[in-house]
Amino acid sequence: MTTLRCADKTLDLSCPVVMGVLNVTPDSFSDGGRFLAVESAVAHGLRLVEEGAAIIDVGGESTRPGAAPVSPDDEIRRVLPVVERLRQAAPQLVISVDTSKPEVIREAAAAGVGLINDVRALTEPGALEAAAASGCAVCLMHMQGDPRTMQRAPSYVDVVREVKAFLDARVQTCRAAGVSADRLAIDPGFGFGKRLEHNLELLRHLRELTGEVPVLVGLSRKSFVGTLTGRGAGERVHGSVALAVIAAMNGARIVRAHDVAATVDALKIVAAVDGPSR
């Protein structure tokens, strides 16, 4: 699948694209608190668009390990003004909202969001129905456990086989609920209930997950990048870009990134070497 239907827009995935991260939270692991004000959040989002992001992913609830949940009302209050302002400033932009809550999905879709990026793969009560009715694209992510507990003791017999089985099942559930394949993407959930060896194994075998729907990866500034490089969260650009290149060369079509300009440049090189997907 080389396109993704995002409500009233179609995203071309013949070459890998970058999803820019815009967290409007006080506690995200890398940039928590930096973009709480609507004006600073919108300015940063537009800066990421100038750097080449094809999607801006707005998140109002941190999903870092140990993160506390946020109420639907608080998440809507954080996210919606930013979405509305971005939509006004860049009407052709594909805006994504990083949420699992049906209330947020409905409000975001009404405000013009094109993609729902759900770490819980629409398993929360009412989320599947809200997403199906929204017309938005949906990214379904694998996570073992929940953000509060997921990194305590993640365990797999065969991480690639288990992640693939979960994502395949969620795709089929979504399709049965009326979400067509051209509205779906999958994410193996790097760092979400995975140890270092699980993340590396998934990356080595990423192409085994590719199929009828595109693969999105979120590798940017993750703790395992720090484990491998010895760098703090704000100093992981080089390691993150290296992982983005590996992922794209192994079939990823969307790369979620904090450091957009560097990632866009790297993916241009990948596209030139690999050629566009047919």
Q: Which residues are catalytic?
A: 222, 256
Which residue carries 């300015």 as its tokens?
43
Three-state SS at 276: coil
**Cβ atoms 125, 171 nearer than 8 A:** no
Buried b (16+ CB within 10 A) or exposed e, 186-211: bbbbbbbbbbeebbbbbbebbeebbe
d(CA 109, CA 105): 6
Listed residue (199, 206, 250) closest to 222, CA to CA: 199
**Cβ atoms 264, 53 nearer than 8 A:** yes
Residue 277 gets which letter from DSSP?
Answer: -
Listed residue (210, 253, 184) closest to 13, CA to CA: 253
Q: What amino acid occupies position 2?
A: T
Angle at CA of residue 7, ends 3 and 8, nearest 5°:
90
Can you read off the two tokens belonging to residue 206?
A: 């990423």
